[in-house]
Amino acid sequence: MRTIKEKIRKHPCSVLMLFCLMFIASPFFCPFSMAQDTKPKVGKQSQDNEFVFTPQWTAQAQFAGYYVAEAKGFYRDAGVKVKIEHPSSTEPAMSRLRQNKCQATTLQLCQAMEIVDGGIPLVNILQTSMNNAMVIVSSRGKDPLTQKGAKVGIWSVGFGQLAICMSIKDHLDYEWIRFAQNTNLFVAGALDATLAMSYNEYYQLVQAGMKVSEKTVYRFCDHGYNVQEDGVYMNRDYFEKHKEQAMRFAKASRKGWEWAAQHPEETLDIVMSYTNKANIATNRVMQRLMLKEVLRLQVDRESQKREFRLRPDMVRKASQLMVENHMLSRPITYEELMPKK
């Protein structure tokens, strides 16, 4: 059985094109790393009364609830002094967490499992995503399931674990081409298809004038791969020593998301203040689309409610898929990811 590194092959022409397009068109480089093999390092601790939160990406509506909680004073009211610090290309989110430069970050469930499997114990203190947002968008009007052996873009920072499982299970034998920001390579015609998030890159492609349809878009959540994504995680050792602070942060963050769902336009004002301050190349239309989709993905399909909880059945499904396809050395359980009672 090939290793995951062997499955995700670099294509010389694509890599060259990636660097050319990235420096021409991309406002930022990849700010997140999936390093798994490094134990937490001892670094300079933040002040005891300050809780530093680092989202896994640069400022955008994907993290609107946390911005709202800070802007509306929900963290202050909860007695937690929160500072939101975004990652950078030289200091990704997980690296900041390992070095004690932040107390919490956001991770997708599959990512968190890989990190725990790599020896870093994590605990989930808040789950925002209840549904999977990943899609495959194909070019030239083709169905992704008919493109056996196709060159398919995959994030160089992770996020594509379920897609690798699907390719193996359905005998598609995709050739995975790594990218930092996928719309450039795909729009340029260097890829047959690309992975995208329904709240982010999918809309970037639409704004770029790409024609998409149900025939050319494969939604993982509709094909047996509906595994939760974003949740808030922290190092378990820190959590055990600061449980009250951690749960106050989680409760105030949930309040921020609930407020965002009720006040989308005012939430967008807050989001845009963050993107403008960080000089992110975006616009209000894009962020409105992202916010709407992120909020939709927070509603559980079965209960039709925002549950803000990690589902044990989805943990089991993700663990089974990843173990079967050699992305985990052992099963990761729901209990390993949750606070101990």
Q: What CATH number does the domain located at 132-222 have?
A: 3.40.190.10
Asked if the domains at 17-131+228-337 and 132-222 fall in one CATH topology, the answer is yes
Q: Are 26 and 106 in contact (CB under 8 A)?
A: no
pLDDT exceeds 50 at position 75 = yes
Secondary-structure class of domain 17-131+228-337 per CATH: alpha beta
pLDDT of 112 higher than 90 = yes
Instruction: State yes or no: pLDDT of 177 exceeds 50.
Output: yes
What are the CA-CA distances from residue 170 to residues 57, 145, 152, 223, 268 (Å)?
Answer: 31, 8, 15, 11, 40
For the segment 197-217, the average pLDDT, to the nearest whole number, is: 91
Looking at residue 94, its pLDDT comes to 84
- Which backbone phi and psi does 192 adopt, to 5 degrees? -80, -30
Q: What are phi and psi of 135, to 5 degrees?
A: -135, 160
pLDDT band at 42 (very low <50, low <70, confident <90, very high): very low
Q: Given this model, what pLDDT does residue 27 score? A: 37
The domain segmentation of the chain, as residue ranges, is: 17-131+228-337, 132-222
What's residue 135's pLDDT?
Answer: 97
Mean pLDDT, residues 32-59 = 61
Q: What is the pLDDT of residue 16?
A: 35
Q: How far apart are CA 283 and CA 60, in angstroms?
A: 10
> Band of the pLDDT at 217, cuts 50, 70, 90?
very high
Q: For residue 34, what pLDDT is reported?
A: 36
User: With 80 as the cut, is the pLDDT of residue 243 above it?
Assistant: yes
Rounded Cα–Cα distance for residues 81 and 48 (Å): 10
pLDDT of 48 reads 54
